[in-house]
Structure 1
Amino acid sequence: MTRPDREDPAPRRFVPELVLVGITILWGATFLITKTGLGESGPLFFVGSRFGIAALVLALASPGILRGWTRIDLIGAGMIGLTMVVGYALQTSGLQSIPSSTSAFLTALYVPFVPLLQLLIFRRMPRRMVWVGIAMAFAGLVLLAGPATVMTLTLGPGELLTVLSALAFSFQILLIGVFAARIDPRRAALLQLSMVAVGCFALMPAFHEAIPTITPRLLACAASLGIASAVIQVAMNWGQNHVSAARATLIYAAEPVYAGMIGAAAGEHLTTLAIAGGALIVSSVVVSELRLGRAAAAGDPSAA
């Protein structure tokens, strides 16, 4: 079983890392579709529909997935699914009172949260260059969000709820790393996606969100994102069996970079600061791979 606090040595890690990079690019590509879908629907109904379709697609594409469940499948996938429901609920609640740019930046706090929680919970210190990469990635996220967004932050209820959502998403990444080697990635994804869908629909009355008019555009957005979500969740469950949580976090941190690049290709404007921030985030993944000092000289693969 692969331990959640260390990475497989190269070249065995090469393919899983490429898979995680691939789903991060796919994740970034969903931004424009999400933006379109939210113009047709409230956030909870849209997210619930997206994940409900994802669960349905995964079930139809995986004959026999409803058979052979183990106790650890239910426990592991259930715990991960719970963090996802809590994360989306808190993020959606925070969005009621803060701008989307502020929400995006505060949600990105999972980048420093994951290695800190890994240290506190598993007593495993990420390598020095991983910390450097994390600092670079966070600095890049600040530039992407814009210094004005960061400098005007307050600690109101919306901001605090969003910070808590980032904490929930951090636990999601850590728990996937813990259970990835012991659960079936497709069965786990099915339960996780289903829990988010049911949770979002159940929370709609609490947020006074009505069911929108179902339009062809809304259906197209939810369906396309549902297929993407099914692929992303299965790949995360599989890939993090081979890549440490801290390094996976750095890979995921590039999602807004890919979203910005795809947005720019569609005609959106990228500022010089945003381009610099994107370069920092992408570079952070490379820097985190460097091994310096005695660990590098000894070729120690455990210093992850």
Structure 2
Amino acid sequence: MLDTSALNQDFALASNQHVSTAKSALWADYVVDVMGPKGLPILFKGILPADLSDSDSLSLNGKPISYPYFVQPGQWFNNDTCLTFYRNMQSITPNMVDVGATAAQMALKKRNIMELRLLTLPKAALILRSIARINAKLARNKTPRIMDLKKNSGHLAITYHEGMYHTAASTDYYRGFLCGCLDFLGFRDVRSTVLFDHMDNVKQGETEILFEWEEKSFPEKFKIRALEKHLSRRETELVRLLSEGFTLQEISYLTDITYETVKFHLANARKKLNCRTREELVAKFITQSLGG
């Protein structure tokens, strides 16, 4: 039995582990969706035994690691292993931008909460501003910064920490993932351009990416025109998140407002729609949103 508590103590060292298994779990889901189970040995080539059975053939910090470890979010692995994943993924499908975009949409559909903290926000600018927070959850090898934000574009600069290597494949996956986020949320004609990509195996690597999009129609995307007559935009956003199954704490996190403020807005929404409970509020929201 894998002693994850002991492993996590070792992984707390930034010099050892940098990438969350939330990412490798998502990659495994993608490969199974594209190729079926036969794709997993390709994805894990050079990382785990070909049969992907539990074994001590791979070890990190002197402890055995097996296949289940990499498909359960909440653990961490090192930067070199991450680059091996990218190389293996390229052998399955060379278009890493498409892989990133597809993985983003899969994360949304499967309600991976670690990814959804980035993806459910309704504005492109808010999504891009949330990158640093998500990066802290999923990878410690890079620091993204917003250089410029306009109505229909965003300029990002990514610094890969010294000794934390990256490849063109990881850059393409990253920009594809963000394009997939924006596209899923209804932004039109989403595209990205790599302005600068410097990779160095010793010094810091740097990447600059320009994202562009057309404005999205929030009411059209979520079919909430009927509710706009009754609820404010903020109330509508919070009730929508509630209807998607998020807790009040998670809604507070996603919207960057306090827990008490979330309760206040939802209470107002209940009064406006004549609902006694949150369950009744959600039921009425869904009915009216669908034109019922």
Q: TM-score band (shorter)?
A: under 0.3
Using the size of structure 2 for normalisation, the TM-score is 0.23
Q: Which has the larger share of strand?
A: 2
Q: Which has the higher helix share?
A: 1
TM-score by length of 1: 0.22
Q: Which has the larger radius of gyration?
A: 2
Ranked by relative contact order (alpha carbons within 8 Å, sequence separation 6 or more), the top structure is 1
